[in-house]
A and B are shown apart, each in its own frame.
Chain A
């Protein structure tokens, strides 16, 4: 046991966390191994690889992998590394291939990663066998799709995907169930936004109901002062509605919004996007048209059930966050202890009005856009957390809000008295500590 191992569980205490877990490069290395190298990591969506040969190159933690549909139509995740001398084989972000060919000496691979051909293969010593399964673009040990959302784990054993997700499968369901035809696809491009800070602070901000009023003050004020008589083609209208909503007073967050957390670090902010009172606004004719389409395809009762799921960000630890009402999905890619890139995708709901997807795009631009009037202030916060924590100021950070008023909930969950509880941070740190110190052992409750 290294020194660090002995210290890990001293870095989290009830209601506080030591800043070192966000700044120490040695801890980051351990996280890449014990969290991103072990837990179920979201890799991509099946709509990105519709046909055999379609591939999507991405990363699990820092490791380059390829999500690919093989000749038989099966979904595979293979390490993007040549078995010969280690070159990265697939160099483009996405595309279609009949086979993968390494650019260095031409070793060629089947879509599932098995070797197909090795030039000059007579020159190797006895026992050199291109059929040896260890000589391949190695498959990631466990790959599982939940209704099209593909997760993979670099650990050969551990809890199954659905066990890991627990109650969060309902948030994935919500992404799909909102499609009148029951199918969704990634569309409309991707944002890749970057900041100089630790990956965990991004996840810890997604359910932070106490920050918009403060952090986003400049865009709230600017939107509140904006005249609605000025020309808009719809894009500005959606954006401004969203910015104004960020200005809801603390009393709103404390009385009408809830925060739910679940084992393994997951959480969601709920009630917030009640269609009747908030973002989409039931009066919006496009939204009404959408509801009609949903009712036609699914029946009134099911449509009602679907629309009554009111979740803002649903965060599946450790690397993916969903927002179902505007069909957003964000993937966190840790680059270094103090550098993170987030990829943000949009989904098209099959059977929904075209204009609805355009609203999704407008929403993506304002909430997840690199040049957004909102997100840029969040990115600034992440940078400042990094700068602040490298000081010699207080070692312990306060994450205790709601500590005494949180309550247990169904599905092994724990819920804040209201949305301003920091229970979601404590819950993530529980999972963090469990993974970092006990592998896949049941998460401890050290911090709650």
Chain B
């Protein structure tokens, strides 16, 4: 896996930039289409960062106004009118990731280990600047003698900025999102 440069926060996602600028960029980077292969590699890279506990690097994959969402209901319409297992705007996501690094995060003492499989990747819609990618996720979490299995479908809204792919929003629909669940600390 190529080493990924940590992107500096950009004021706006490229999709909102004037068309001319976007065209210009596209012209400069003809080889970098947001195709299935590239999106899939990006998701594998993301999963690997999470499994390796490199949460700062994971956070760096998000746009400056990116969000991360794990609904509490199947087919949940939005994160504002119904509770969510996790709903983080960028500010809260930063706090979440900072807390994960704290030596006093008792719910991660001992730390979880996770192993994820990302598969069945497809591009749902989009163009060369932004697209929505759907994938299947299986995550096994091991902690303190117990192992749990999470299954779900992820939707990533990916955007291109300076040739890098960033996550504008990520939604993970857990199969058992409305079940009684023990605490969830490690992001999916």
In the complex, what residue of chain A is closest to B146 when comparing beta carbons? A196
Cα A215 to Cα B104 in complex, Å, equals: 8
Decide if B95 is an interface residue (CB 8 Å cutoff): yes
Chain A, range 120-177, C-beta contacts under 8 Å to B:
none
In the complex, what residue of chain B is closest to A223 when comparing beta carbons? B95
Please tell me if the beta carbons of B87 and A221 are within 8 angstroms of each other in the complex. no
Contacts of A221 in B (CB 8 A): 98-99, 102, 104
Among B70, B88, B106, point to the contact of A236 (Cβ < 8 A). Answer: B88
Most buried by B among A227, A232, A237, A384: A232
Please tell me if the beta carbons of B181 and A193 are within 8 angstroms of each other in the complex. yes
Among A243, A368, A369, point to the contact of B86 (Cβ < 8 A). Answer: A369
Cα A187 to Cα B83 in complex, Å, equals: 9
Please tell me if the beta carbons of B90 and A379 are within 8 angstroms of each other in the complex. no
Cα A222 to Cα B107 in complex, Å, equals: 15
Decide if A357 is an interface residue (CB 8 Å cutoff): yes
Among B65, B72, B86, B102, point to the contact of A222 (Cβ < 8 A). Answer: B102
Decide if A261 is an interface residue (CB 8 Å cutoff): no
One digit per residue, 1 when the CB lies within 8 angstroms of any chain A CB and 0 when it does not, for chain B 78-97 equals: 01111111111111111110
A376 to chain B, nearest CB (A): 4
Cα A88 to Cα B97 in complex, Å, equals: 44
Chain A, range 184-223, C-beta contacts under 8 Å to B:
187-196, 215, 217-219, 221-223
Decide if A361 is an interface residue (CB 8 Å cutoff): yes
Decide if A377 is an interface residue (CB 8 Å cutoff): yes
A352 to chain B, nearest CB (A): 14
Decide if A233 is an interface residue (CB 8 Å cutoff): yes
Decide if B162 is an interface residue (CB 8 Å cutoff): no
Cα A240 to Cα B69 in complex, Å, equals: 17
Please tell me if the beta carbons of A370 and B85 are within 8 angstroms of each other in the complex. yes
In the complex, what residue of chain B is closest to A380 when comparing beta carbons? B107
Please tell me if the beta carbons of A236 and B89 are within 8 angstroms of each other in the complex. yes
A375 to chain B, nearest CB (A): 7
Decide if A365 is an interface residue (CB 8 Å cutoff): yes
Decide if B182 is an interface residue (CB 8 Å cutoff): yes
Q: Give the contact-size bracket for chain A.
A: 35 or more
Please tell me if the beta carbons of A243 and B95 are within 8 angstroms of each other in the complex. yes
Decide if A364 is an interface residue (CB 8 Å cutoff): yes
Cα A233 to Cα B76 in complex, Å, equals: 18
In the complex, what residue of chain B is closest to A194 when comparing beta carbons? B180
Count B interface residues, CB 8 Å: 41
In the complex, what residue of chain B is closest to A354 when comparing beta carbons? B81
Please tell me if the beta carbons of B95 and A235 are within 8 angstroms of each other in the complex. no
Among B65, B96, B99, B181, point to the contact of A192 (Cβ < 8 A). Answer: B181
Contacts of A364 in B (CB 8 A): 83
Cα A228 to Cα B184 in complex, Å, equals: 25
B149 to chain A, nearest CB (A): 15
Cα A388 to Cα B105 in complex, Å, equals: 18
Most buried by A among B72, B82, B88: B72
Decide if A239 is an interface residue (CB 8 Å cutoff): yes
Among B82, B86, B105, B178, point to the contact of A371 (Cβ < 8 A). Answer: B86
Please tell me if the beta carbons of A193 and B84 are within 8 angstroms of each other in the complex. no
Please tell me if the beta carbons of A218 and B104 are within 8 angstroms of each other in the complex. yes
B9 to chain A, nearest CB (A): 9
A362 to chain B, nearest CB (A): 8
Please tell me if the beta carbons of B182 and A189 are within 8 angstroms of each other in the complex. no
B171 to chain A, nearest CB (A): 13
Please tell me if the beta carbons of B102 and A218 are within 8 angstroms of each other in the complex. yes
Decide if B117 is an interface residue (CB 8 Å cutoff): no
Cα A236 to Cα B105 in complex, Å, equals: 19
Please tell me if the beta carbons of B95 and A218 are within 8 angstroms of each other in the complex. no
Cα A192 to Cα B180 in complex, Å, equals: 4
Cα A227 to Cα B183 in complex, Å, equals: 26
Cα A370 to Cα B179 in complex, Å, equals: 11
Most buried by B among A187, A227, A239, A375: A239
B10 to chain A, nearest CB (A): 12
Among A236, A369, A377, A380, point to the contact of B85 (Cβ < 8 A). Answer: A369
Please tell me if the beta carbons of B94 and A230 are within 8 angstroms of each other in the complex. yes
Contacts of A357 in B (CB 8 A): 81
In the complex, what residue of chain B is closest to A226 when comparing beta carbons? B95
A303 to chain B, nearest CB (A): 26
Contacts of A237 in B (CB 8 A): 91
Cα A240 to Cα B94 in complex, Å, equals: 11
Please tell me if the beta carbons of B183 and A231 are within 8 angstroms of each other in the complex. no
Please tell me if the beta carbons of B184 and A218 are within 8 angstroms of each other in the complex. no
Cα A373 to Cα B91 in complex, Å, equals: 13
In the complex, what residue of chain B is closest to A192 when comparing beta carbons? B180
B76 to chain A, nearest CB (A): 8
B152 to chain A, nearest CB (A): 13
Decide if B36 is an interface residue (CB 8 Å cutoff): no
One digit per residue, 1 when the CB lies within 8 angstroms of any chain B CB and 0 when it does not, for chain A 344-380 equals: 1010000000000110011011001111010111011
In order of increasing CB-CB distance, the 3 nearest A-B pairs are A236-B92, A236-B91, A376-B183
In the complex, given contacts A232-B90, A380-B183, what are 11 additional A-B residue pairs having Cβ atoms less than 8 angstroms apart? A188-B82, A190-B178, A193-B181, A196-B182, A236-B90, A236-B95, A240-B95, A341-B180, A361-B80, A369-B85, A370-B85
Q: Show the binding face of B for A, using Cβ within 8 Å.
A: 64-65, 67, 70, 72-73, 76, 79-96, 98-99, 102, 104-107, 109, 178-185
